[in-house]
Structure 1
């Protein structure tokens, strides 16, 4: 179903869905809910510096055609109140509070980049809550990151229309073309757009991600505590959180599948949106494996 079809049928999309709020634990969380009223909700956990409108509408809307999808701003991000924590554990606690405030007893998680670190902790600690887990462009605790170096390089490219172009995509013409199309899609929503917060969010988030990767977990205790089916996805040339992180997670997780997309960077899911949605849908709809 195309974007035009969705709009013509009056179906809420990432671009048209109202921003809702739920409050508790001293935080007023902003979120948008798409898709049918029934089914296991897919909760989206966003990347470093990103808010609800930084998601790709093509990805989110396609996933929501047959399942509830919820995109939200964690504490301090976008239109959510509270303070953005400087550690992944506190971010996971806040995200869990949001899920509980919605009264959800079973969810699937899709964590991208920093959101993938948060998703790992939630899945490891909440086996009954989390049914399936999707980790995209992320790293395990003690993994490899080059956040500051890659950010510095991206912001030095003054000819780029948006720093996400060099951050998320490779230098090839095909990847760059996909990146420009992605950037255009993220601007489709004109009314009631989410809020960019600046250093009040990015400074603690950067500390959280860097600390997560700088803290060794030699026994892989978090990954080994994740028993849920997990789909691990990475771009072949991710400069921020390299693809060897994905393989490292795949090896330590007890029930994981691994997908690497060619000629792609940190934003591989946005470079190959149709393929990514197809892989996610197949994974989420697959029956549980039997011994």
Structure 2
């Protein structure tokens, strides 16, 4: 069976975009389509998570428009990103999927699930938040400091983005980086210099203040699992509480001593908790 390390990069055309993706795991199941964070590519997922899910279900990783190996331009709205995601899923001939979204990907996954209630069966929202969420109009002060600093090697950035400063969390972070670096062949191109500005514009529109900002969450009818760390400084943890409160059928898991990448700190626990949720009869 193909794994995170061995699944080949494939391509499919939709909406004039050539989408890069990898598909592996157990065929004949409802696929789990993963939506990536700010500036992330196919190779930014943790193999402990993707391979963990692939034991029991099919996993699909993809670069949305303008990211990594995909062609096109990055949309400057979350709605545009969600429309491209729907086009990609349909281009694979899929009639129903489960959607997981991490950080920026969680905004896209929410929007996709509302726009495509038949296509998306269940929703997993990790380290993310609602429209006009707390501290979401711009990058948080902590995020601005973290992304504005220099790191050597460069991927040590993720130790600050995803993990707390505690020794235990940092140790989990170094273990994550070892897994993160494992795939050497057929790696995805890193995001080019047009990606971050477009995504920041989309994030700004999403986070801008508005009246009754959380009313739209009532439209999310899918069973939803919200996951975060108890000390997320990139998208503040309170936003996960807001999601759980306003989505009609949502449950919340907060992992201890964890920042924005709580799922990477507790990969086995995250796979177990999420798999249990996905396997439950939606009724």
- The answer, yes or no, to whether TM exceeds 0.5 is yes
Q: C-alpha distance in 2, partners of 1:34/1:229?
A: 24
- Answering whether residue 260 of structure 2 is matched by residue 266 of structure 1, we say yes
Q: What residue is the counterpart of 1:156 in the other structure?
A: 149
Structure 1 position 106, deviation (Å): 0.5
Q: C-alpha distance in 2, partners of 1:135/1:217?
A: 23
Q: What residue is the counterpart of 1:250 in the other structure?
A: 244
Structure 1 position 157, deviation (Å): 5.6
Q: What residue is the counterpart of 2:22 in the other structure?
A: 32
Retained in 1: the 8 A contact 2:46–2:176?
A: yes
Q: C-alpha distance in 2, partners of 1:165/1:128?
A: 38
Q: What residue is the counterpart of 2:195 in the other structure?
A: 201
Structure 1 position 148, deviation (Å): 5.7
Q: C-alpha distance in 2, partners of 1:259/1:33?
A: 27
Structure 1 position 215, deviation (Å): 4.1
Q: What residue is the counterpart of 2:166 in the other structure?
A: 172
Structure 1 position 199, deviation (Å): 2.3
Retained in 1: the 8 A contact 2:21–2:60?
A: yes
Retained in 1: the 8 A contact 2:131–2:213?
A: no
Task: Kindly tell me the number of residue pairs found equivalent between the two proteins.
Answer: 279
Q: What residue is the counterpart of 2:98 in the other structure?
A: 108
Q: What residue is the counterpart of 2:57 in the other structure?
A: 67
Q: C-alpha distance in 2, partners of 1:219/1:138?
A: 15
- Structure 1 residues 24 and 118, CA, compared in 2 at 3 Å: closer, same or farther? same
- Structure 1 residues 20 and 264, CA, compared in 2 at 3 Å: closer, same or farther? same
Point out where structure 1 has 5 or more consecutive residues left out of the alignment: 1-10
Structure 1 position 221, deviation (Å): 3.3
- Structure 1 residue ranges, 4+ long, deviating more than 6 angstroms after superposition: none
Structure 1 position 159, deviation (Å): 6.0
Q: C-alpha distance in 1, partners of 2:66/2:152?
A: 31
Structure 1 position 158, deviation (Å): 4.0
1:210-231 alpha-carbon deviations (Å, 9 max, x no partner): 2211142515232110011000
Retained in 2: the 8 A contact 1:121–1:222?
A: no
- Aligned residue for 2:273, secondary structure, equals helix
Q: What residue is the counterpart of 1:281 in the other structure?
A: 275
Point out where structure 2 has 5 or more consecutive residues left out of the alignment: none
TM-score (norm 2): 0.95
Retained in 2: the 8 A contact 1:160–1:166?
A: no
Query: Which deviates more, 193-202 or 241-250?
Result: 193-202
Q: C-alpha distance in 1, partners of 2:227/2:247?
A: 13
Retained in 2: the 8 A contact 1:231–1:283?
A: yes
Q: What residue is the counterpart of 1:138 in the other structure?
A: 128
Retained in 1: the 8 A contact 2:39–2:196?
A: yes
What's the C-alpha RMSD, in Å, of the aligned pairs?
Answer: 1.4
1:206-253 alpha-carbon deviations (Å, 9 max, x no partner): 121222111425152321100110000011110010110000010111
